[in-house]
Amino acid sequence: MIKPTGLNHELPPRIEEFSNLIEALEYAANGATGYNFYDGRGELSAVLSYRQLRDEAQKLARQLLGLGCERGDRVAIIAETEPMFHRFFFACQYAGLIPVALPASYQIGARNAYVEQLRRMLSSCTATIAVAPESHSSFLKEAAAPLRLLKVGGPEDFDSLAEPDLALHPLTTEEPAYLQYTSGSTRFPRGVVITQRSVLTNLAEIAQHLRITHNDRVVGWLPLYHDMGLVGFVLLPVASQLSADYISPRTFAMRPRLWLKVMSENKGTISTSPPFGYALCAKRLRVSDNDRFDLSSWRVACVGAERINPEPLRQFAHVLASANFNPQAFVACYGMAECALAISFAPIDTGLHVEFVDKQQMAEHGRAVILDDEAKGSSNELAFVDCGTIMPSYELSIRDENGMVLPDRQCGRILLRGPSIMREYFNDPEATREVLSADGWLDTGDIGYRVGDNVVVTSRSKDVIIIKGRNIWPHDLEYIAEQLPGVRFGNVSAFAVSDDHGEDQVVLVVESKERSPAKSKELVEELTAKVREYFGVNCFVDLVQSRTLPRTSSGKLSRSKAKQDFLDRLSATGGDWAEVLAG
């Protein structure tokens, strides 16, 4: 019977002195910790100690080099939550190759869309090698077929290779550690180049802020191809010499209680989720479940990945109070792939700090004016969660559209500068120039305000649609719509609108000349089916007459105005979201 790896009682804690990820792994291999994988029933299915990972990654690195790879070549890895991903990721580190995590999720019945997504990413990163677990092997092989990669296959295809007697020269401090695809655009994928120095700087600051010790244990369910999954649950544990326990995202979606089961049984102390994860967990819990869990060891419950809605977190804490969950464990944070992961953290052991501001002042002037106690709870209230203090290595600037620096409590674009910022978008100088200035300032595209060294995120980029923690680029939705007969290029606008429960919903406004109600209904149904197939989300399609969509003086569509026009039409009909979705 296999047992999970334990804690380090004798290995002295260390993180700040590492010059690359291999140094971190080789130090951790001296201890008793590692990665543990749990199946769909919450039972331990595989264990990979750091010592075992070091040995297997070294062997695999030589096998990869034996194929004739050159230093810096990209190795695409379908990032399913199983030991294969970790072995190949660290084999690349040893071999001087650059790992690229590719998404492992796909919608049932959406094979073609998933294969196309993989092919775009393989082409974008100019991968030399690609590997997938057996569950995804056929998708990867189909995606890679026209690209002439050096080798494509499953783990067994690589394990059977000869191991040449070659010296290993791991990636060095200034070389890339990996490419991280941003979680939004599928049609125009952007690979973030993160150097060894950048990610190690970020990891050291995360460990310092969270006060990590060898008594900590990490438990996660987030996808490993996402920055929070990769950095927070693969790299942070090894760099801090901690054990990590995993359930897969698919398992979490079906049985979120298993997250709490593993936390409880293994005395997990650190875990992270976007708000929707806590909400899903609270929704699926039964009163009788609380007697089965003891969450008293859970000291850091990070919340990030989108603007934070405090309500589902209050509900989570309320439901699990009898299971000894402490709401002061909540730690609001702000991060993004272009910064390795973390940008800011709220203090630990204090819970959420919510600012209640004047809605009218925010809407008309972009000012975060704190409401007095009498005005709280009124219809003029907006609630924003303070995402905490910017980490020490960053500089923060809040600027208006003209680049002017704004004072405290004035909303604007969030800009950052520091050693954890990405080097570039891989092979995409134009996209890099759009967000990264010559003097190192990254325009995050996010909107917020500062309070001293603290940052409050009020919204993401005006164009990005965020559904359950996933970023979706509007032009991807618009492109899908434009492929259908009866929809002309440039006659579609996509955006998100908050429903009556504060959740974002996708809206497609489509100009159409169709007059037949039956054919209009057919077009709407086809559009919603396509969006569901390619993106796994529901959407509301609003068919409008030609020349309805607003445009700028240069002729470009104005999504912000299209959104306001849609809301005006909805208001004029007296409709609400319940009626719209029902219709």
Q: What is the DSSP string of 389-429?
A: EEPTT-EEEEE-TTSPBP-TTB-EEEEEESTTS-SEETT-H
Residue 458 has pLDDT above 90, yes or no: no
Residue tagged 């072995």 (tokens): 87
Confidence of residue 553 (pLDDT cuts 50, 70, 90): very low
Helix (H, G, I), strand (E, B) or coil at 19: coil
CB 193 within 8 A of CB 426: yes
Q: What is the mean pLDDT of the chain?
A: 90
Task: Please give the pLDDT value at position 407.
Answer: 97
Backbone φ/ψ region at 191: left (φ over 0), alpha (ψ -120 to 50), beta: beta
Distance CA 327, CA 337 (A): 27
For 380, half-sphere exposure in the C-beta direction (CA atoms, 13 angstrom radius) is: 13
More confident call, 539 vs 470: 539
Q: Which of 228-232, 295-299, 498-502 has the lowest mean pLDDT?
A: 498-502
Q: How do strand 504-511 and strand 492-498 relate by DSSP bridges?
A: antiparallel
The phi, psi pair for 434, rounded to 5°, reads -65, -30
Task: Please give the pLDDT value at position 554.
Answer: 46
Q: Side chain identity at 206, as an amino acid letter?
A: I
Instruction: Say yes or no: domain 21-255 is CATH 3.40.50.12780.
Output: yes
The phi, psi pair for 245, rounded to 5°, reads -115, 135
Residues 345-371 have pLDDT tens digits of 999 999 999 999 998 888 788 899 999
Helix (H, G, I), strand (E, B) or coil at 491: coil
pTM across the whole model: 0.84
Residues 315-352 have pLDDT tens digits of 999 999 999 999 999 999 999 999 999 999 999 999 99
Residues 78-112 have pLDDT tens digits of 999 999 999 999 999 999 999 999 999 766 567 88
Task: Please give the pLDDT value at position 558.
Answer: 79
Burial environment of residue 97 by CB neighbours within 10 A (0 to 12, 13 to 18, 19 or more) = buried
For residue 119, how far is the Cα from the chain centroid?
Answer: 21
Tokens of 157: 């295809």
Domains of the chain, residue spans: 21-255, 344-459, 473-582
If you average pLDDT over residues 21-34, what whole number do you get? 98
- CATH T-level fold of 473-582: GMP Synthetase; Chain A, domain 3 (3.30.300)
C-alpha to C-alpha distances, 140 to 6, 63, 130, 229, 457, nearest whole angstrom: 35, 20, 8, 21, 37
Q: If you classify domain 344-459 with CATH, what class do you get?
A: mainly beta
**Percentage of the chain with pLDDT > 90?**
68
Residues 432-444 have pLDDT tens digits of 999 999 999 999 9
Q: Tell me how many helices (H) and strands (E) the chain has.
A: 19, 27
Residues 467-509 have pLDDT tens digits of 776 667 677 788 788 888 888 767 899 988 877 666 778 999 9
Distance CA 376, CA 313 (A): 19
Residue 358 belongs to what H/E stretch? strand 354-358
Whether 21-255 and 344-459 share one fold: the answer is no
For 206, half-sphere exposure in the C-beta direction (CA atoms, 13 angstrom radius) is: 29
